[in-house]
Amino acid sequence: MDTAVRELSYAQAIQEAMALAMEADERVFLMGEDIGVYGGAFQVTGDLVERFGTDRVMDTPISELGGAGVAVGAAVTGMRPIFEFQFSDFATLGMEQIVNQAAKMRFMLGGEVSVPLVMRFPAGSGTGAAAQHSQSLEAWLGHVPGLKVIQPATPHDAKGLLLAAIADPDPVMIFEHKLLYKMKGPVPEGHYTVPIGKAEIRREGRDLTIVATSIMVHKALEAAETLSGEGMDIEVIDLRSIRPIDRETVIESVKKTSKLLCVYEAVKTLGIGAEVSAMIAESEAFDYLDAPIVRLGGAEMPIPYNPDLEKATVPQVPDIVSAARDLVKGVR
Amino acid sequence: MAIARKAISPEQTNLPFAYRQYSPDQLRDVLRKMYLIRRFEEGAEDSYMRGLIHGTMHLSIGQEASAMGICMPLHEDDQITSTHRGHGHCIAKGADVKRMFAEFFGKTTGYCKGRGGSMHIADVAKGNLGANGIVAGGIPIAVGAALSSKRMKTGKVVVSFFGDGANNEGAFHEALNMASIWKLPVIFVCENNGYGMSTSTARSTAVKNIADRAAAYSMPGVIVDGNNFSEVAEASHAAAERARAGEGPTLIESKTYRYRGHSKSDRNRYRTKEEIEDWITNRDPILLFETELKEFGIIDDKGIEAVRESVKQEIADGIEFAKQSPAPELSDLDRYVYTEVA
């Protein structure tokens, strides 16, 4: 029998994944600030506390460092915690446990333990929450061997990647763009996984490869649609995972299109765009390039409050259209 | 580990706790392990001086009664998290010094296969979840292990060892608070040796006793003479009972002293020779315990000599084992970063 596919929001898809995992495995439980009766700051856990009780949908005090450490300790001793940071910005408070402990414990102990830990990070700008609640810090964690770092862009992937993360024996950090939570899309019922470390070609094309992450995948697809009206055939790759990163899919695409544009919301320099560009520069795809690689990323500044300023800080569809058009036409 | 035992006879009820609780054999074994810890660290220090061990190390010489007293009431499957000064905890929880030396020598037979060294020494099979290079890093992890114990109903008690320096880290406060609100089976053990590296607790800490902090988290705060085995064991025993009964955590402050510097770079400029000499001469935990054992007729000079000899042999064997063990292959460089999927 085919699995039924319904329209769910990205937040509902995550919630469904957590509920399925908790039903299937006693060891899976949720920890975070105000994830119980409140339902989470973005209503991702919603009413799960009513189904699973406060032992398995645990409100923590506002103690990101200690809470992250408790999750690490529970993970190495047989549980499967899913820890929600209320905002990804608060990763800054938990970094010690994430970077020094979770990421390195297996290695430091010579493989004697695994750390099957999932951490969820509501990320990104666009909500008017200003500089301390709007950052995109995934590259920080992507720089740490021992962690896996993913950025689902669709409800389908949000569920499938989360279920893959829960089953994974190592710590997986999931960055969820807050503006995606309400986005709807087809989500199969029941259990399925999306592999960590595999990019997805969202739109095939011959003239240019756009490598995008998270919400920028949708903006890139919109831009590609606009440009198809001008006769341009643009390929859009949803990177999905930044550690491990899918070199093969990106390299093969660039060999086909000979042009690369990287689009991501995080601050432009020293981030995903640099990594993807270097990946191409170091590969056989370099010889296929017909134009310099272009990066579109966040401005080198904190996210401002004013909505117009806020939008101007991160790439928008017209920016992508313009950069892509110039690249295809050989303007630069 | 030790199995609780009733008092031998009524006339012994005024004896200190350990002599009521443990058999003469067990007590002689405690002495042996305290020697094992000390000789292990002396052997490690000597090997370091000879260039056989690289990096640095943090020695707990002078703190042996604290490690043994805390671990003696624990069961084999109870768990601990430890600190950068963690060799004593590791041995007290049951580790084999052969594999510890092998780890320090960077060999594949070491507990961490040469990847961790002194600062990450662990023995997961015996419940030691690892020493930690980050001050207070292990405290929330212990609380997480205690959460697993409670949820999975394993009955395990978890001990979190840390030093006085850790009591001013946020992780300490966050962890104690969570352990208390969730009534978790965890024992927080602050081994207060007077100095966080060079900074004395008087200069770093707003309260007189670190145990005073327990009041802020509604748990018992117990101060013990960390150089008195029986006193430490009694506090640990009571805290473990409380934890097993589901009554929640305890903070034990074990006041002790490290004879050696913070690490190998320490020039001891923050304390006087007289202070160090006073502790060594008048408050040495092994000497105190040995004297008590003799006084109660549990061991004699000949017995003590036999203990020392057997420990000496075990240390020599351990070092030899480490020397003879194979080094890791460079081709295995990136192993253990992620879990290998079969």
Interface test with B, best of A108, A170, A172 (most B CBs within 10 A): A108
Task: Give me the amino acid identity at A75.
Answer: A
Select the residue of A66, A81, A110 nearest B140 (Cβ to Cβ): A66
Enumerate the domain spans of chain A: 7-188, 200-329
Distance of alpha carbon B281 from alpha carbon B290, whole angstroms: 14
Position A1 pLDDT exceeds 50: no
Chain A residues in contact with B335 by the CB 8 A cut-off are 111
Question: Do the Cβ atoms of A127 and A98 come closer than 8 Å?
Answer: no
Q: Residue A2's pLDDT band (boundaries 50, 70, 90)?
A: low
At residue A118's C-alpha, the angle toward residues A28 and A201, to 5°, is 120
What fold characterizes domain A7-188? Rossmann fold (3.40.50)
Query: A108 to chain B, minimum CA–CA distance in Å?
Result: 5
Of B65, B38, B41, B1, the residue nearest B121 (C-alpha) = B41
Residue A263 backbone dihedrals phi, psi, to 5 degrees: -130, 125
Nearest residue in B to A62, CA atom = B174
Task: Give residue B300's pLDDT.
Answer: 98
Question: Any chain A CB within 8 A of the CB of B178?
Answer: yes
Distance of alpha carbon A300 from alpha carbon A316, whole angstroms: 16
Question: Any chain B CB within 8 A of the CB of A99?
Answer: no
Annotated catalytic residues of A are: 64, 133
Q: What ipTM goes with this model?
A: 0.96
Q: Residue A3's pLDDT band (boundaries 50, 70, 90)?
A: confident
Give B80's strand partners: B128, B159
Question: pLDDT tens-digit profile of B158-191?
Answer: 999 999 999 999 999 999 999 999 999 999 999 9
Task: Give residue B13's pLDDT.
Answer: 73
Chain A residues in contact with B116 by the CB 8 A cut-off are 108-110
Which tokens go with B115?
């990847």
Structurally, at CATH architecture level, domain B29-320 sits in 3-Layer(aba) Sandwich (3.40)
The order of strands in the sheet holding A80-84 is A57-59, A28-32, A80-84, A118-123, A172-177, A148-150, A241-243
Which residues fall within 8 angstroms of residue A22, CB to CB, at 6 or more apart?
A28, A29, A30, A48, A52, A56
| Top-tier CATH class for A200-329 | alpha beta
Chain A residues in contact with B114 by the CB 8 A cut-off are 110
Query: A178 to chain B, minimum CA–CA distance in Å?
Result: 28
Q: In A, residues 72-91, which contact B (CB 8 Å cutoff)? A: 72-79, 81
CB contact under 8 A, B144 and A111: no
Tell me the mean pLDDT in the region A307-332.
95
Provide the H-helix boundaries in B229-300.
Answer: 229-244, 273-282, 285-295
Enumerate the domain spans of chain B: 29-320
CB contact under 8 A, A110 and B114: yes
Eight-class DSSP state of A110: T
Position A80 pLDDT exceeds 70: yes
Which residue shows structure tokens 């908790």? A22
Interface test with A, best of B180, B338, B340 (most A CBs within 10 A): B338
Residue-averaged pLDDT of chain A: 97
Distance of alpha carbon B71 from alpha carbon B91, whole angstroms: 10
Chain A residues in contact with B79 by the CB 8 A cut-off are 77
Position B7 pLDDT exceeds 50: no
Q: In B, residues 83-112, which contact A (CB 8 Å cutoff)? A: 110-112
Task: Give residue A331's pLDDT.
Answer: 81
Task: Give residue B12's pLDDT.
Answer: 63
Question: Any chain B CB within 8 A of the CB of A231?
Answer: no
Q: In A, residues 165-184, which contact B (CB 8 Å cutoff)? A: 169-170
Q: Residue B265's pLDDT band (boundaries 50, 70, 90)?
A: confident
Tell me the mean pLDDT in the region B23-43.
98
Question: Any chain B CB within 8 A of the CB of A62?
Answer: no
Position B11 pLDDT exceeds 90: no
Select the residue of B115, B139, B140 nearest A110 (Cβ to Cβ): B115
What is the Cα Rg of chain A in Å?
20
CB contact under 8 A, A108 and B120: yes
Question: pLDDT tens-digit profile of A95-150?
Answer: 999 999 999 999 999 999 999 999 999 999 999 999 999 999 999 999 999 999 99
Burial class (CB in 10 A: 0-12, 13-18, 19+), B174: buried
Query: A326 to chain B, minimum CA–CA distance in Å?
Result: 42
Which residue shows structure tokens 């190495």? A76
Task: Give residue A83's pLDDT.
Answer: 98
Distance of alpha carbon A199 from alpha carbon A247, whole angstroms: 9
Query: A71 to chain B, minimum CA–CA distance in Å?
Result: 6
